[in-house]
């Protein structure tokens, strides 16, 4: 410290300009009193005096004067008393003479209210030599420069301390979308588990691959206009693998491969209808069909994450399009226990360890199981996925060997992401209405890590 | 998934014990049901219509239970109780029998006029049934549940139930001109023609949903008794004459439809569920249906089918090691009466008429697994050895995404569906030039087409984020869809990259620089030499003039043969650039500028 400065403040009372005038000339009421001759004065005349208005009302309330309203030429003012003591003037003169302390608190505040007195605070600094007193002045340095280093002057230069309480300047950077960051993690998990990615770059699908190939009957409610987007143009698929189509038709309408079938009139026109795929299982069906054509059979593990479309009623958690995550394993002798084992490994990688399985119904898997996990926050079991073993009526017409089982599971990408990032409305996560600030601020996606503490910094 | 609502106390009385909500929830979970909600009529009304309306409504506790969509036998209290009691081995599954009456069998004759509109009918009689208010309500509710589910909102099958004592057979199922059908419908006091009824029901909140099934047909289906009394005009409404009440003792059930198999299943479900309340429980009186070709059939079918499945197959599919005897016991608990036969490894399973969902051995395997308890199954990892591969297009996309972000651009995620306007009019294009696929049944304009360009989504993202500090630098790498007759479905996806720079000053060099950076990342050198790229002005801007057009020639590279299309755009208050790929031997990207 070069110098030390000590703050000393004093308070004193001072007269205002009006107060000084009164100290000199007397209060307005006293001046009014004095201007009234013994025979009285017309009120209108009195009001024209400089102190008239204020002085009149004060003198009236002090009962120094009176008004005779019955006078011939209008109201007339008369003295009531012979002489008056001008207290106000006297008090102001005391203050002027530096004796303000002689007045009581009440008297002072009354004068202050009349704007005749003000309290003035005087701040002064008592300056003395500091511990590092010097007569040569140097500025504190904020940065170390190459010159300081080469000249060695940094040794003697004073440096300004860093302010760690201030926020730093965020770097200019691009940002990845939080949902797609989660997608990357899911891809990573599947790849770590040895699953090969299926091509899913075909949003348009025929009813055949989307439904019929999966042994989903043509009257199934999902094939309703209310649930599925059908196409007007191109309305129908141009080509279908007709050999396979015939096997599918027979299985639906008459059964076969050990099945009773659905026993209905299967129509090719219905299978040709184009639609926006309602699930990526259509892509899985294509992948399994391709696998079935390879001889001899080679075991396979497949996955996909891509968009699917539903003509549904929209709400806070449902949009017309969302991403589906799907995993498939095809091998000899796979069991329900294997499905559960794979699911356990998969969900463990997501940081979900408490699982249980509920019997369920899916048109194309049997047995089917819904996967539930215990949600600590909600304190209940919530559904986290759906799974099952594909029906033989789906696999055998494709040409897969009879002892090959295919286990599969699926879940949406949006739901775990919403839980992960604490988002309640899906529109805040997906689509053009998202707040880019949310994208800028979203943290890394580490699915297996414990949820971090709530963010304390506000948004920039 | 259908939801069945049952009175809790009634359910517990039928189950012969009470449960806490948690215990019952647990039981449901194990059996593959879901206790969805615990509520009361009062609560439901007050939630939907407000507290005043709920005044005086019943506050009896209701359990709303989600039932798997293929288990029609669990759609009413009777079926749920029977299923759970057999599962818990408290009762044995009843045996359903069709009996021929001592007197004359009820006959339903189908005339050929029905052939073009609703050709199938089945029928049965519940004799000496004893309803109570609750049973009656459940009977009506089951029909409604069946109508909504397996009957596909009455399109495939419609059910009519009648007080047989008010009618006299034989019955005729025929089809007539709507103006020739006249009767007093359910709960109405006067007669109307079918034409009048169709008008009246247009404003009926319940029935208006079924009118379309027959609306434009020249003939309407109708069932008469021998005195010309109308039983019903399926699938719309029954006649008032044969209306059933709590006091009805003999019920005639007819199901008409376009799907014979489902009509038979529906009839089986109704009679198996409610024959419980007949004087001879689970006995169903047969009815004869004569088809137009003269052939006659006896219904209900109530067919029991036998399947033989090897115990080791079940063990192998589930991943357990149970003895054949135990497996037979497990299946019996699932309403599939089973016994070990033959070499001691074979199980003979009897599939009752209530379990129409069992059509393959895999359905039997599932039931064994459910009875064993899914959560008791030992988990194992498949020994399937595979090498993972990424889909090359996605692999490249992932790599590019990271470098786009590293270049300072932020990733947007926009919808693949949009309005026609978004991809055509707003970009100054004619919709026919876009080769877009069109959706036939969009509920709103937002879902008219699949996008043919990523640009509208990015521009809309900017529009929604105008309060954000400038500049905005956005990109998206995702699929667009166009018609393509070389593909089996007549359309294909292309993977596009689109980027937008938005600021107060144009900054063309920024988006240009990003393009150069992308080319650098893809190892495409600038210049006209083989494998390089150049930017050239091109003609025919779809945008407003004056326009500066720059096109980019992008000589093809082997790495790009996966069909990746690149697109890049820029927008700043009226300025826009766009680059597009063209056919071989080089790709063209159009940068479109408008000032």
Q: Which of B362, B416, B450 sits opposite A391 (nearest CB)?
A: B362
Q: Please tell me the predicted confidence (pLDDT) of residue B501.
A: 86
Amino acid B23: pLDDT = 93
Angle B342-B348-B349 (CA atoms, 0-180°, nearest 5)? 175
What's the confidence (pLDDT) of residue B539? 54
pLDDT for residue B554? 46
Is B280's pLDDT higher than 50?
A: yes
Residue B437 exposed, middle or buried by CB count within 10 Å (0-12, 13-18, 19+): buried
Whether residue A262 has pLDDT greater than 90: yes
- Dist. CA A391–CA A414, nearest whole Å: 28
Q: How many beta-carbon pairs under 8 angstroms link A with B?
A: 293
Sheet holding B220-224, edge to edge: B237-238, B230-233, B220-224, B171-176, B106-110, B287-290, B296-299
Least confidently predicted of A76-80, B17-21, B453-457: A76-80
Strand partners, A323: A307
| Two structure tokens written together for A261 | 């079938």
pLDDT over threshold 50, residue B585: no
Chain A hits for B363, CB-CB cut-off 8 Å, are 366
Q: Sign of the CA dihedral B560, B565, B570, B575?
A: positive
Spatial contact of B364 and B350, defined as CB atoms under 8 Å apart: no
Q: How far is CA B324 from the centre of its chain?
A: 37
Residues 234-253 of A with CB under 8 A from B: 234-240
Q: Where are the alpha helices (DSSP H) in A142-198?
A: 146-151, 178-192
Are A367 and A334 a contacting pair, CB within 8 Å?
A: no
Q: Which band of pLDDT confidence, cut at 50, 70 and 90, is reported for residue B537?
A: low
Strand segments (E) across B396-442: 410-411, 417-418, 438-439
Sign of torsion over alpha carbons B132, B134, B135, B136 = positive
Position B536 confidence tier, pLDDT thresholds 50, 70, 90: low
Q: How many CB atoms lie within 10 A of CB B555?
A: 19
Query: A289 vs B561, which has greater pLDDT?
Result: A289
CB contact under 8 Å between A367 and B365, yes or no, is yes
- Per-residue HEC secondary structure of B508-544 comes to HHHHHHHHHHHHHHCCCCECCCCCCEEEECCCCCCCC
Q: Does A213 touch chain B (CB under 8 A)?
A: no
- Closest to A410 measured CA to CA, from A352, A348, A456, A368: A368
> Picking from A55-59, B212-216, B239-243, B485-489, which range would have the lowest pLDDT averaged per residue?
A55-59
Q: Which of B413, B419, B474 to mutate to test the interface with A (most CBs of A within 10 A)?
A: B413
* Neighbour-count burial of A144, counting CB atoms closer than 10 A to its CB (0-12 exposed, 13-18 middle, 19+ buried): exposed
Which of A374-378, B68-72, B401-405 is predicted least confidently? A374-378
Q: Tell me if B363 sits within 8 A of B318, measured CB to CB.
A: no
Contact B416 A176 (CB under 8 A): no
> What pLDDT sits at residue A51?
80
Sign of CA dihedral B539, B540, B544, B546: positive
Confidence of residue B457 (pLDDT cuts 50, 70, 90): very high
In the structure, what pLDDT confidence band is assigned to residue B581 with cuts at 50, 70 and 90? very low
Whether residue A61 is predicted with pLDDT greater than 80 in this model: the reply is yes
Do strands B34-40 and B61-66 pair parallel, antiparallel, or not at all (unpaired)?
Answer: antiparallel
Length of chain B, in residues: 595
pLDDT band at A450; cut points 50, 70, 90: low
Position B151 pLDDT exceeds 80: yes
Separation of alpha carbons A380 and A363, rounded Å: 27
CB B171 within 8 A of CB B223: yes
Can you tell me whether residue B39 is helix, strand or coil?
strand
Of the pLDDT bands very low, low, confident and very high (cuts 50, 70, 90), residue A161 is confident
DSSP label at A259? B
Backbone angles phi and psi of A378, in degrees to 5: -85, -15
CB within 8 A of B478, min separation 6: which ones?
B413, B414, B416, B454, B495, B496
In sequence order, what E strands does B168-244 have?
171-176, 182-183, 192-193, 220-224, 230-233, 237-238
CA–CA min distance A410, chain B (Å): 18
DSSP 3-state of B473: strand
β partners of residue B502: B472
Helices (H), A126-240: 146-151, 178-192, 207-210
**Integer angstrom CA distances of residue B90 from A361, B16, B332, B337:** 25, 9, 12, 15
Cβ–Cβ below 8 Å for A237 and B490: yes
Selected residues 152-181 of chain A with any CB under 8 Å from a CB in chain B? 172-177, 179-180
B101 with B285: CB under 8 angstroms? yes
Cβ neighbourhood burial of A97 (10 Å; 0-12, 13-18, 19+): exposed
Minimum-distance CB partner of A432 among B388, B390, B461:
B461
Q: How far is A296 from chain B (nearest CA, A)?
A: 15
CA distance linking residue A289 with residue A46, whole number of Å: 115
Closest Cβ opposite residue B390 in set A191, A205, A232: A191
Model pLDDT for residues B391-413, shown as the tens digit of each residue: 999 999 999 999 999 999 999 99
Strands B586-594 and B575-579: unpaired
Peptide bond before B546: cis, by omega within 30 degrees of 0?
Answer: yes
Q: What is the structure's pLDDT at B566?
A: 43
Mean pLDDT value across residues B554-583: 38
Q: Which of residues 352-371 of B touch A (CB under 8 A)?
A: 359-363, 365-366, 369-370
**DSSP letter for each residue of A275-315:** EE-S-THHHHHHHHHHHHHSSS---EEEEEEEEEE--PPPB
- Range of A309-318, B82-91, B418-427 with top mean pLDDT: B82-91
pLDDT of B591: 46
Residue B417 sits at the chain A interface (C-beta within 8 Å): yes
What percent of chain B is predicted at pLDDT more than 90? 69
* Residue pair A358/B32 in contact by the 8 Å Cβ criterion: yes
Element counts in chain A: helices (H) and strands (E):
16, 15
> Does residue A459 have a pLDDT over 80?
no
CA distances from B297 to B110, B124, B159 (A): 11, 11, 18
CB contact under 8 A, B483 and A238: no
pLDDT tens per residue across span A328-367 = 999 999 999 999 999 999 999 988 888 999 999 998 999 9
The per-residue pLDDT of chain B, averaged, comes to: 86
Average the pLDDT over each of A317-321, A387-391, B239-243, B313-317 and give the range with the smallest value: A317-321
Supply B166's token pair.
């008010």
Order of strands across the sheet with B410-411? B410-411, B472-483, B491-502
* Least reliable range by pLDDT among A92-106, A159-173, B157-171, B365-379: A92-106
A229 pLDDT above the threshold of 80: yes
Residue B71 DSSP symbol:
-
pLDDT band at B542 (very low <50, low <70, confident <90, very high): very low
Contacts of B498 in chain A (CB under 8 A): none
In this predicted structure, the answer to whether residue B217 has a pLDDT above a threshold of 50 is yes
Q: Is the pLDDT of residue B487 over 80?
A: yes
Phi, psi of B29 (to 5 degrees): -55, -45
- Whether residue B105 contacts residue B252, with contact meaning beta carbons closer than 8 Å, is answered with no
Residues of chain B above pLDDT 70, percent: 90
% of chain A at pLDDT higher than 90: 48
- CB spacing of A336 vs B380 below 8 angstroms: no
Per-residue pLDDT, B292: 93
Residue B318 in contact with partner chain A when CB distance is under 8 A: yes
Is pLDDT at A115 greater than 90 in this prediction?
no
Q: Of chain B residues 93-112, which have a CB less than 8 A from chain A?
A: none
Averaged pLDDT of chain A: 88
> Inter-chain contact B441–A357, Cβ cutoff 8 Å?
no
Residues whose CB falls within 8 Å of the CB of residue A90, separated by 6 or more in sequence, listed in order: none
Show the DSSP H helices in B165-310 as ranges.
Answer: 194-200, 260-274
Task: Categorize the per-residue pLDDT at B443 as very low, low, confident or very high, splitting at 50, 70 and 90.
Answer: confident
Question: Cβ distance A117 to A19 under 8 Å?
Answer: yes
- The pLDDT value recorded for residue B563 is 36
CA A281/CA A277 separation, integer angstroms: 9
Euclidean distance between CA atoms B233 and B217, whole angstroms: 13
For the cut 60, the answer to whether the pLDDT of residue A135 exceeds it is yes
CA–CA separation, B539 and B548 (whole Å): 9
Whether residue A336 and residue B319 make contact (CB cut-off 8 A), yes or no, is: yes
Where does the pLDDT of residue A457 fall: very low under 50, low under 70, confident under 90, or very high at 90 and above? very low
């Amino acid at each position: 410290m070069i110098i030390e400065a000590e703050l000393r403040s004093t308070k004193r009372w001072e007269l205002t300009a009006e107060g000084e005038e009164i100290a000199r000339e007397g209060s307005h009421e006293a001046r009014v009193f004095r201007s009234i001759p013994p025979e009285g004065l017309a009120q209108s005349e009195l009001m024209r005096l400089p102190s008239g208005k204020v002085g009149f009302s004060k003198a009236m309330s002090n009962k120094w004067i009176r008004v005779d309203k019955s006078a011939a030429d209008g109201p007339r003012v008369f003295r009531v008393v012979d002489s008056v003591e001008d207290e106000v003037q006297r008090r102001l003169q005391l203050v002027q003479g530096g004796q303000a302390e002689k007045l009581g608190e009440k008297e002072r505040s009354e004068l202050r209210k009349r704007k005749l007195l003000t309290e003035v605070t005087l701040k002064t600094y008592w300056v003395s030599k500091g511990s590092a007193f010097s007569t040569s002045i140097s500025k504190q340095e904020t940065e170390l420069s190459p010159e300081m280093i080469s000249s060695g002057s940094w040794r003697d230069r004073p440096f300004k301390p860093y302010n760690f309480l201030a926020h730093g300047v965020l770097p200019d950077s691009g940002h990845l979308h939080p949902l797609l960051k989660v997608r990357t993690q899911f891809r990573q998990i599947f790849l770590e588990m040895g699953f090969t990615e299926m091509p899913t770059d075909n949003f348009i699908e025929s009813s055949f691959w989307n439904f019929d190939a999966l042994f989903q009957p043509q009257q199934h409610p999902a094939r309703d206009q209310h649930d599925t987007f059908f196409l007007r143009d191109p309305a129908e698929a141009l080509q279908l693998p007709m050999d396979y189509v015939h096997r599918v038709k027979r299985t639906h309408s008459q059964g076969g491969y050990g099945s009773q079938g659905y026993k209905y009139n299967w129509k090719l026109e219905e299978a040709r209808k184009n639609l926006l795929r309602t699930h990526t299982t259509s892509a899985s069906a294509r992948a399994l069909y391709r696998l079935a054509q390879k001889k001899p059979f080679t075991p396979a593990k497949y996955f996909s994450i891509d968009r699917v479309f539903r003509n549904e009623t929209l709400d806070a958690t449902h949009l017309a399009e969302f991403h589906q995550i799907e995993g498939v394993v095809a091998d000899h002798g796979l069991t329900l226990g294997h499905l559960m084992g794979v699911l356990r490994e998969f969900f463990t990688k997501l940081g979900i360890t408490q699982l249980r399985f509920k019997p369920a119904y899916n048109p194309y898997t049997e047995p089917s199981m819904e996967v539930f996990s215990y949600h600590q926050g909600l304190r209940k079991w919530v559904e986290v996925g759906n799974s099952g073993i594909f029906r033989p009526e789906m696999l055998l017409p494709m040409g897969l060997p009879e002892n090959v089982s295919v286990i599969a599971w699926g879940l949406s990408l949006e739901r775990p992401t919403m839980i992960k990032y604490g988002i309640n409305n899906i529109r805040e996560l997906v689509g053009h209405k998202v707040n880019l600030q949310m994208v800028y601020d979203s943290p890394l996606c580490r699915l297996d890590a414990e949820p971090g503490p709530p963010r304390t910094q506000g948004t920039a | 998934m259908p939801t069945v609502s049952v009175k809790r106390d009634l359910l517990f009385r039928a189950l012969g014990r009470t449960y806490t909500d948690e215990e019952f929830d647990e039981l449901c979970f194990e059996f593959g049901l879901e206790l969805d909600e615990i509520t009361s009529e009062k609560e439901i009304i007050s939630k939907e219509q407000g507290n005043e309306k709920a005044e005086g409504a019943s506050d009896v506790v209701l359990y709303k239970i989600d039932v798997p969509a293929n288990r029609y036998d669990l759609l009413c209290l009777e079926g749920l109780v029977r299923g759970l009691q057999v599962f818990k081995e408290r009762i044995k599954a009843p045996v359903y029998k069709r009996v021929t009456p001592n007197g004359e069998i009820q006959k339903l004759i189908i005339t050929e006029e029905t052939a073009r509109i609703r050709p199938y009918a089945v029928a049965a009689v519940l004799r000496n049934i004893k309803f109570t208010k609750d049973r009656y309500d459940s009977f009506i509710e089951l029909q409604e549940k069946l109508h909504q589910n397996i009957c596909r909102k009455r399109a495939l099958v419609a059910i009519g139930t009648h007080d047989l004592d008010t009618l006299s057979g034989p019955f005729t199922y025929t089809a007539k001109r709507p103006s020739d059908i006249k009767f007093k419908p359910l709960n109405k006091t006067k007669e109307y023609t079918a034409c009048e009824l169709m008008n009246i029901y247009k404003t009926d909140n319940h029935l208006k949903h079924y009118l379309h099934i027959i609306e434009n047909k020249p003939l309407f289906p109708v069932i008469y008794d021998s005195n010309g009394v109308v039983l019903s005009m399926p699938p719309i409404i029954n006649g008032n004459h044969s209306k059933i009440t709590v006091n009805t003792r003999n019920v005639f059930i007819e199901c008409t439809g376009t799907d014979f198999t489902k009509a038979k299943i529906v009839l089986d479900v109704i009679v198996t569920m409610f024959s419980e309340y007949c004087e001879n429980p689970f006995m169903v009186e047969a009815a004869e249906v004569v088809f137009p070709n003269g052939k006659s059939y006896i219904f209900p079918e109530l067919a029991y089918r036998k399947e033989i499945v090897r115990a080791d197959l079940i063990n192998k599919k589930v991943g357990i090691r149970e003895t054949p005897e135990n497996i037979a016991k497990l299946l019996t608990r699932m309403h599939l009466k089973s016994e070990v036969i033959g070499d001691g490894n074979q199980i003979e399973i009897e599939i009752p008429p209530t379990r129409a969902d069992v059509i393959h051995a895999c359905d039997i395997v599932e039931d064994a697994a459910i009875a064993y308890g899914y959560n008791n199954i030992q988990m194992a990892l498949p020994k399937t050895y595979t090498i993972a591969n990424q889909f090359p297009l996605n692999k490249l996309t992932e790599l590019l995404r990271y470098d786009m972000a590293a270049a300072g651009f932020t990733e947007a995620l926009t919808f693949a569906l949009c309005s026609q306007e978004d991809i055509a009019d707003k970009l100054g294009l004619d919709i026919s030039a876009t080769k877009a696929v069109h959706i036939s049944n969009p509920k709103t304009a937002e879902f008219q087409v699949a996008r043919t360009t990523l640009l509208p989504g990015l521009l809309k993202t900017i529009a929604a984020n105008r309060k954000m500090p400038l500049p905005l630098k956005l990109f998206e790498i995702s699929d667009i869809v166009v018609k393509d007759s070389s593909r089996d479905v007549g359309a294909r996806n292309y993977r596009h990259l689109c980027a937008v720079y938005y600021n107060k000053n144009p900054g063309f060099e920024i988006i240009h620089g990003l393009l150069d950076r992308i080319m650098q990342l893809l190892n495409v050198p600038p210049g006209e030499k083989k494998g390089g790229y150049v930017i050239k002005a091109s003609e025919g801007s779809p945008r407003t003039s004056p326009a500066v057009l720059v096109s980019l020639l992008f000589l093809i590279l082997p790495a790009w043969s996966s069909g990746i299309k690149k697109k890049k755009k820029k927008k700043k208050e009226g300025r826009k650039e766009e680059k597009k790929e063209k056919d071989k031997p080089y790709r063209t990207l159009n940068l479109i500028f408008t000032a």
